[in-house]
Chain A
Amino acid sequence: MEHIPILRMGDFLLVTIQVDMHDQMALKLQDDLSNAIQKNASKGVLLDISTLEMVDSFIGRMVADISGMGRILGAETVLVGMQPAVAITLVELGLALPGVATALNVERGMALLRRKIDGAGSDADSTTG
């Protein structure tokens, strides 16, 4: 079966979704990613959906679940690259993805992850987040 590759970059994992996923693929990604977070003790996940032309409630839920699951395993998730038409549709559909951190592109997402992780590491700076 087709699967979505997970790349390790230091403390982070990078996932770029480039295919029109069917539901089982989305569930498998969730599984693979939780295993990868644990195996690599990853601190952050970048989920790049810049090539996705549609996010429906199933994929939306997968994104929210990955973010929640990652947090429990000690990794912050940042969703990057959502196309404007997808964002408009998703909100109208009724999914605003509360609790999911987002950034415009991979570069900004990486910076955001860095800040989140550094912020969590220092007691002095407890207001970020």
Chain B
Amino acid sequence: MLTAPQGEAPLRSEHDVVLARQTVRKLTQQLGFSLVDQTKMVTAASELARNALIYGGGGTLHWQIVEREARRGLRLLFADEGPGIPNMDLAMTDGWTSGKGLGMGLTGARRLVNEFEIDSKVGAGTRVTIARWK
């Protein structure tokens, strides 16, 4: 059974990104997600955790088991205190990247989840929230 309905994990190193993936895998398994849904959520988490590390200079993953009308799901918040995203339209364009990536991280992650919200302030940081329901 679930030990706690919520928790957090640091995103300060590449190893933390691997641990975040494993945490999300475990949570989605405990929630009874199908294998495909588990994989989608883990993959989205991997993209966003890496973004927080590379572009945000490190951050924190906050996770929460959520319930709505008898449905259970997993909500993840990736928060960093990095430079923020100056041009959100550009950042949400397939194939655009400010770094060395493929430019599929943010847009790809959005396609893999049921809910996606991004809030970024230049100079203050970026917060991305995603959720997937069982």
Contact = CB atoms under 8 A, between A and B. Distances in A.
Partners in one complex: yes
Given A22-B18, A88-B39, A94 B101 contact: no
B40 A57 contact: no
B105 A89 contact: no
B115 to A, nearest CB: 16
B17 interface: yes
B43 A94 contact: no
B35 interface: yes
A32 interface: no
Of listed A23, A57, A94, residue having the most chain B CB within 10 A: A57
B39 A85 contact: yes
Given A22-B17, A94-B94, A56 B43 contact: yes
Interface in B8-62: 14-15, 17-18, 21-22, 25, 35-36, 38-40, 42-43, 46-47, 50
Interface string A7-26: 00000000000001111100
Interface of A: 20-24, 53-58, 60-61, 83-86, 88-90, 92-95
Interface of B: 14-15, 17-18, 21-22, 25, 35-36, 38-40, 42-43, 46-47, 50, 94, 101-102, 104-105, 107-109, 111-112
25 contacts: A20-B18, A22-B15, A23-B14, A53-B42, A54-B39, A54-B42, A54-B43, A56-B47, A56-B50, A57-B105, A83-B39, A85-B35, A85-B36, A85-B39, A86-B39, A89-B40, A89-B112, A90-B43, A92-B40, A93-B47, A93-B104, A93-B109, A93-B112, A94-B104, A94-B108
